[in-house]
Structure 1
Amino acid sequence: MATTATNRRVILKEYVEGYPREEHMELLPGGEVPLRLKGDEPAGSVLVKNLYLSCDPYMRPKMSRPLRESYTAAFVPGSVITGYGVARVLDSTHPGLAAGDLVWGLTGWEDYSLVTPPATKFLVKITHHGDPAGEGQRPVPLSYYTGILGMTGLTAYVGFHEICEPKKGETVFVSAASGAVGQLVGQFAKIAGCYVVGSAGSKEKVELLKNKFGFDDAFNYKEEPDLAAALRRCFPEGIDIYFENVGGAMLDAVLLNMRVHGRIAVCGLISQYNLADGERDAVRNLAAVISKRLRLQGFIEPDHKHLYPQYEAWVLPYIRDGTLAYVEDVAHGLESAPKALIGLFHGRNVGKQLVRVADDESE
């Protein structure tokens, strides 16, 4: 077995204003790196080979110059981009991880990553990949740990079940519904016995929502001159739960259509991420939060890591028996990562966008 390897890296070249472009990032050929820990790393370090990388909307604000405090640190120009991924442990001094283990969590956009404390607390050991599939049961693909069995899935579960507290028969609206989180929220809502409508940005995605993910209805927001009217058409009695992924004009329209005591889980605001402060859409209907006694709550997945075992136990049976449909948009090769990430902000992806960096010898 080789003792060293070439480590390619994707770095952020400069802070981004407006929409990111491929030239904002650069794939560096890298140099030789050891495939074992050298012994001078901090105790609890983990060396991994990256197999899959996740492309997520939250990465866009991290590409901007840090002008204000945020829940996550900005990327540093000249340094490797970081994000969620799936990896194979090559060497470890972490007490809970050993060589050969599979993990999902925060890693680097590179072939190999050294993960040191405190970042190692975001590595989760994968225990169910490779479980034998019983009769009528589907095997669990390793790539699912970038999404439905990783950060994306836990985000959907926490936002819908913990924040929104759904009741059978309630009405649910999901924006960016064909994306990584939205497709899951809609299906979780159907499992809970709710009436679900989603919005997406193309005819293809609208058909996907209705025919594959089981939404009761869906519409293309780009074809609706009046979003508030579109929502009144879909929800003549109003919306009980809104899972917010978009912000701006969509949020303004939703506020007018919420029912009294409705709940809004604010997961993301992707329509606003590439705009300067003065260009961002004003939300004019906030008075509805008072008059309708709405609960509007933002949340982030890292605050709820302790719920992952609960979520995994809940969702695995639905994956294995085929109740949950799940669509991935897979780019191949580390060199394709910048283009894949940029595509998120132009709606090019269908389903969960991820990058396959390398094959796993066990597959």
Structure 2
Amino acid sequence: MHKHTAINGNDLSMNSPFIKALLKGENNEYFPELKGKKGVLYSNTTLAQFIEEEFRHDNFVLGGQSGRSIRSFSSGEQKKALLDYLLHKSPDFIVLDNPFDALDTSSVNQLKRRLLNISRQMPVIQVFKRKADLLPFINHAMRLHMGEVVFSGGVASYLRKYEQNKEEHFCTAIPAPLHQITEEFRVIAKFTDVSVSYNSRPILSKINWTIQAGEFWQLKGPNGSGKTTLLTMINGDNPKAFGQNIELFGRKKGTGESVWEIKKRIGYFTPSMMDLFTRRHTAMQMVISGFHDSIGLYQRPSEGELTVARRWLDLIHLSDYANMPFIELTQVQRRMVLIARAMIKHPPLLILDEPSTGLDDQSAALLSALINKIASESQSAILYVSHRLEPDLQPQFIYQLIPGKNGSLGEKIEH
């Protein structure tokens, strides 16, 4: 029977000395059984390298005989192609880096079945962040902190030692908006018999969905079911919305409103936004920039803006980090700052697109607590987009997209 190990660590990089030595069969202290053996890395980091190689040199390694660009594959197809390629190299063992990120339930189940078969042939090392993602055949666990091993033992012992305790995360009230809200909308978004196709391929079929003021929705559905299409028809970026029976903020789509008029009523966050903020703006400046819808702060803030921003930083327990560069904060701290930035004007609609992707259980619970608080104490409607149902999140309703041959149908589920 092979030794299969789960590794957990805060911001453990696949480029760390620990992982590099492991893949070369040189991590003899903790993996003596892999000494001199050859490992492969199944990771989004590896996938990104192939995508970059394809883009720069037209080297279609993962596309294989299909002749397709790997960028045209769905998330599930990309990961399957990568796994096929790595196994074709006949490795002695495989390292899995958060293998289920960005996969829907069906794709996760398919991958789990395949990994179970692989575990019978070779050792599997799973780098994980979520307890629910732990593969059932894992029989050993390790925890790293600052690159050093602080725990090595059985899985049950690991879970007992690091089980998350429930706690009250945010005690102060949501800060009030700087200016009194004068615009009020009963209906934030309304879709009536909306169908969308791309190149004769049906994506959405007869969508009927209404988001009312102050409601908390989760939009879910498998990869490729049309979640992104629906989102872009709300936030003004998708030309497929024109000519459809869509109402946004009390006005029929396509009756003369500008994209800017729509966007100014929407607060938006997705983790990919963090890549846009590369300058050394402070946490305080990042929160204040939400008043100006800018990437960073380029003008002197008013005293009122400073006061409201301080209250948001106090709420998310980052007052002591107000002058720290945003890029030096932890993953979850940066996400909370950007959610505060999105909410600082109390927009009629807050869109959160896969906000917890890549976070560990404790950080995801912290983010969920913040979102629940915003939902309960503000008038903003919330649209939370994810195929993962966070155990701590408390949406009122779920709108689920169900793929079919004529495009995805929509179904409202009371949560």
TM-score by length of 2: 0.28
The structure where helix makes up a greater share of residues is: 2
Which of 1 and 2 has greater Rg?
2
